[in-house]
Amino acid sequence: MTEQVSDRILIRDLLVRGVIGLNAWERKQKQDILINLTVFSDLRRAGATDDVANTLNYRSITKAVIALVESSSFFLVEALASEIARLAIVDFGVLRIVVRVEKPGALRFASSVGIEIDRSKVDFK
């Protein structure tokens, strides 16, 4: 029986500018995109050895997410979130990830609007 991994790396309130949205003005200028990641990984070995080689490099994952967002032009936050999840799982070997993507100020009277997805390796085979 496989153990459920409950260890998490949290990346909170990553504010990146990118092209996202359906409206013509959204396609012409970059806007703020707020990203939160919960990266599931087995961190026991890193905790026991105090060796960075035994953990996920969250700085590298974050830099890759920033590069993706800054160079992309998705219409939907759902597509952007899915691509962030794919990047983390396929390129960095993340076991599971929860990705929240928000557009601050997208709705009047709301601080932001966004979506949250939960993906694992089986979603990208």
pLDDT of 59-93, one tens digit each?
Answer: 999 999 999 999 999 999 999 999 999 999 999 99
Both tokens of residue 55?
A: 């953990």
Percent of the chain with pLDDT over 90: 85
User: SS in 3 state form for the chain?
Assistant: CCCCCCCEEEEEEEEEEEEECCCHHHHHCCEEEEEEEEEECCCHHHHHHCCHHHCCCHHHHHHHHHHHHHHCEECCHHHHHHHHHHHHHHHHCCCEEEEEEEEECCCCCCCEEEEEEEEEHHHHC
Average pLDDT for the chain = 93
Whole-number pLDDT of residue 3: 57
> What is the reported pLDDT for 105?
83
Domains and CATH numbers, the chain: 8-124 (3.30.1130.10)
| Confidence check: pLDDT of 48 > 60 | yes
Asked if the model's pLDDT at residue 55 lies above 60, the reply is yes
